[in-house]
Amino acid sequence: MAAGEAHLARRLRPFGTTIFAAMSELATATGSVNLGQGFPDADGPVELREVAVAAIRAGANQYPPSAGVPELRRAVAAHQRAWYGLELDPGTEVLVTVGATEAIAASLLALCEPGDEVVMFEPSYDSYAACCAMAGAVPRLVRLRAPDWSFDPGELAAAVGPRTRLLLLNSPHNPTGKVFSADELGQVAALCVAHDLLAVTDEVYEHLVFEGPHVPLATLPGMRERTLTISSGGKTFSFTGWKVGWACGPAPLVAAVRAAKQFLTYTSPAPFQLAVAHGLGFAPEAMGRLAVELAAKRDLLCHGLAALGHTVYRPAATYFATTDIATVAPGLSAEEYCAALPERCGVVAIPSSVFYDPADPVAGRTLVRWAFCKSETVLRDALSRLASWEA
């Protein structure tokens, strides 16, 4: 039994400590290069840090409004209009949250009755299953398959049943780096409309796209009125520690999520909200700078891992690449490989099996996720360390 499990409510027992925290601790303890947890090793724009500091000095230090400071709600609405042509009322259709993490949790808690089903793609970001468990909802998983992480439309249709409450979509997608195609988004939207489902979309990597545009599900016909769009300043501006996120969409959906949010955290840190509001006004060129840098890092890591014998699934977005280790570590599971890697090579990575249903021991068995939001020096160091791996 894992530490603390005796006290942990049964519904949360499968979730324990997240793999990211455990692997980051291991990286520190072994002096390894950490390509596990998805945080950049360089902070975002100085200009935004200065806005946060100035806000603290100017007195933005007491509870801001529960829905978020007006400046950020207006900035989110303006961003959605400028980038995607989506019109939102900042007063009723935007809610600021403590990172996208809280927006996801509050959405599932607010929108699902115990026993409701949530259709989502697998592999999936680990908080989705945990938040379903907290809400008493049941995930219905639809498999994304390598090499292009496409899904079987029949499998998607079959996942919808009488208890389906909503569909949870993550595009750009963690861990695969997939950007759902226009055709795939069309299939998802058609299904939601046909079955009158709500959609919750996690778009935290919306500005870290290397190939093709980012298309919010809410922009598809029939989706604006049924979609709650979630994003965050953490990934866009490289301030993952600020934890400023938001959910936006039709007023009744936002009001429901706000009802849950007020009893989770009530509000979100004021100075960081003001700084992120400032950032959302950046011109497209400044907004796209990080993606340009990341594309070069993706290529460096992906070429390097391919040269070491990995089967590489090159991502179209995000800061994660997935490889299959079957040829470099024959017979080992990704979990065994990632457990051995810090000692043997001084590198930490995440076994992708953690993004699959634990009841399925085969899914993702030899897949590993590598974060490349690190300096070129760090990535080259990691690759040279990995060269010492012997099967």
| CA–CA distance, 250 with 331 (Å, rounded to integer) | 50
| Dihedral (CA of 107, 111, 112, 116) sign | negative
Range in contact with ligand PLP (rule: CB under 6 A) among 192-200, 239-247, 257-265, 299-307: 239-247
| CA–CA distance, 178 with 314 (Å, rounded to integer) | 9
Nearest to ligand PLP of 38, 279 (CB atom): 38
Q: Estimate the crossing angle of helix 376-386 against helix 289-307, to 10 degrees.
A: 10
User: Is the distance from CB of 142 to CB of 27 less than 8 angstroms?
Assistant: no
Range in contact with ligand PLP (rule: CB under 6 A) among 28-36, 177-185, 240-248, 352-360: 240-248
Residue 101 lies near ligand PLP (rule: CB under 6 A): yes
Least gap, CB of 329 to ligand PLP (angstroms): 26
Residue 245 lies near ligand PLP (rule: CB under 6 A): yes
Name the helix (H) or strand (E) containing 166: strand 164-170
Nearest to ligand PLP of 108, 329 (CB atom): 108
Of 211, 198, 113, 214, whose CA–CA distance to 160 is shortest? 198
255 phi/psi in degrees, rounded to 5: -65, -40
User: Is the distance from CB of 66 to CB of 268 less than 8 angstroms?
Assistant: no
The residue with tokens 């990691």 is 382
Burial class of residue 224 in the structure, from the number of CB atoms within 10 Å of its CB (0-12 exposed, 13-18 middle, 19+ buried): middle
Nearest to ligand PLP of 233, 326 (CB atom): 233
User: Is the distance from CB of 196 to CB of 190 less than 8 angstroms?
Assistant: no
Least gap, CB of 7 to ligand PLP (angstroms): 25
Given 201, 229, 240, 366, the residue binding ligand PLP (CB under 6 A): 240
Nearest to ligand PLP of 102, 345 (CB atom): 102
Residues 172-191 that bind ligand PLP (CB under 6 A): 174
Residue 100 lies near ligand PLP (rule: CB under 6 A): yes
**C-alpha separations of 58 from 53, 67, 319 in Å:** 9, 21, 35
Given 234, 249, 315, 364, the residue binding ligand PLP (CB under 6 A): 234
Range in contact with ligand PLP (rule: CB under 6 A) among 131-139, 160-168, 238-246, 377-385: 238-246
Nearest to ligand PLP of 164, 240 (CB atom): 240
Least gap, CB of 308 to ligand PLP (angstroms): 25
Q: How many CB atoms lie within 10 A of CB 245?
A: 26
Residue 202 lies near ligand PLP (rule: CB under 6 A): yes
Say which DSSP state 36 is in. S
Given 23, 26, 34, 38, the residue binding ligand PLP (CB under 6 A): 38
Residue 170 lies near ligand PLP (rule: CB under 6 A): yes
State the number of binding residues for ligand PLP (CB under 6 A). Answer: 14
The residue with tokens 């919306």 is 206
Range in contact with ligand PLP (rule: CB under 6 A) among 237-245, 286-294, 347-355, 377-385: 237-245
Residue 107 lies near ligand PLP (rule: CB under 6 A): no
Range in contact with ligand PLP (rule: CB under 6 A) among 45-53, 71-79, 93-101, 137-145: 93-101
Tokens of 7: 């006290």
Burial class of residue 182 in the structure, from the number of CB atoms within 10 Å of its CB (0-12 exposed, 13-18 middle, 19+ buried): exposed
| CA–CA distance, 68 with 262 (Å, rounded to integer) | 11
Least gap, CB of 371 to ligand PLP (angstroms): 9
Q: How many CB atoms lie within 10 A of CB 219?
A: 16
Residue 238 lies near ligand PLP (rule: CB under 6 A): no
Nearest to ligand PLP of 203, 335 (CB atom): 203
Residue 206 lies near ligand PLP (rule: CB under 6 A): no
User: Is the distance from CB of 198 to CB of 225 less than 8 angstroms?
Assistant: no
Residues 112-131 that bind ligand PLP (CB under 6 A): 125
Nearest to ligand PLP of 234, 342 (CB atom): 234
Of 219, 196, 232, 11, whose CA–CA distance to 103 is shortest? 232
Give the footprint of ligand PLP on this chain (CB under 6 A): 38, 99-101, 125, 170, 174, 202, 204, 232, 234, 240, 243, 245
